Structure 1
């Protein structure tokens, strides 16, 4: 009989140990599952709140840089066009002065040229100013999410 009791005690202890081991394993698995879920949630939040906005900001900076390059090129071309126009007008005035019949004709040609050049300079300055303003609006528009274009 004692052997039966001992065997029962051994079986009971083995069952209790197996049950305790199973509970511990289940608790460990549940803890690992919760940790994995928390890590996935943290990764998703990091992606949504840090990585995605950083990527959008990078794309906006790239677009802004492209607009800066385009605007700078447009302003440069406009200034070259204006310099060409001014040179043509100066040579036209010199040709007229060279063909003048007397000093009063030369003075009139020179006065007309200076008046026209003054008006032309004001117009050209306004054109460059307008281009610079548009250049600034275009360059910051991508950084503001496309607002203010036009």
Structure 2
């Protein structure tokens, strides 16, 4: 019997998150239209903020997988919708830290790859960062 490799595991943005961001953009524009009173500056600012929210939602749709692990290493999201594979030899540490992020304190998964540091929160992973760190430690070859 041939040994089988453990299956690759991945963590992604929860599916409801891009929908919530898109709905927020629509609400933002609707509120601006209701209360702007013909002020073009308010309408333009609301449209710009809505465009940012829609771009953020598009990123979640185009690159929903933020982190993946396989026997060769870890794949992290890079840039707007790209990915970067980090071989296990490049991963110096996988830790969980408690940080303020977007005004809220919570656990953050840190992947230190020497020249780069990758941070992931619960909304990035769709899971508890502590559990993801444990899964990464288990997947790492000894």
TM bucket (normalised to shorter chain) is 0.3 to 0.5
Higher relative contact order (CA 8 A, sep 6+): 1
- Structure with the larger strand share: 2
Normalising by structure 2, we get a TM-score of: 0.36
